[in-house]
Amino acid sequence: MTTPVIVALDFPSAPGALDFARQLSPAMCRLKVGMELFTSSGPALVEKLQYLGFQVFLDLKFHDIPNTVAGAVRAAAALGVWMVNVHTSGGRRMMTAAAEAIAGCSGPRPLLTGVTVLTSMSDQDLRELGCNESTADRVLRLAGLAADCGLDGVVCSALEAPELRRARGPDFCLVTPGIRRAGDDPLTSAAW
């Protein structure tokens, strides 16, 4: 059985990320590489982490026109990542193009997940963007759209996970980032 734990490598560059990764066991966790680290260190870092034995979640939250996102997830699959994600707000055509691109890749197929509403956003934030549904309602609706488009699951908060599990069933992947130790300041602590 593989571990459900994904450790976020929230470092600005490769040296710190690699030093930290070497203290972990690939048998105990997978690793998440986000935008800052990938932008500074690129595919070479992902390859080094894989060489150390880790499965990598490439957390870049692609959101662009369908053809561009399809090419991006195809490139991520060619890199050999275990999981990659897109923003569900890119819509049906974008998500379907991403799912079709992943399905058509040779080699192991990465999981494709969608970000519904960023976990940092509130109902007020959504209203400022012209969205009148609650965060909870929007998450459920976009998760349903993601499933309809062929995505394997969504990124969600721990508070959203129970309702999503009830609505989407046991086979829909739920990825919950940013679990923190009790007492940590959520604005300054690293994800665990």
Which residues form the catalytic set?
Answer: 61
Pair 112, 152: CB distance under 8 Å: yes
The residues, ordered by sequence, that sit 6+ positions from 168 with a Cβ below 8 Å of its Cβ are 143, 144, 147, 153, 174
Pairing of strands 173-175, 56-62: unpaired
Q: What are the two backbone dihedrals, phi and then psi, of residue 116, each rounded to the nearest 5 degrees?
A: -85, -75
The answer to whether residues 142 and 123 touch, using CB atoms and an 8 Å cutoff, is no
Helices 92-103 and 66-79 cross at an angle (nearest 10°) of 30
CB 77, CB 109: distance < 8 Å: yes
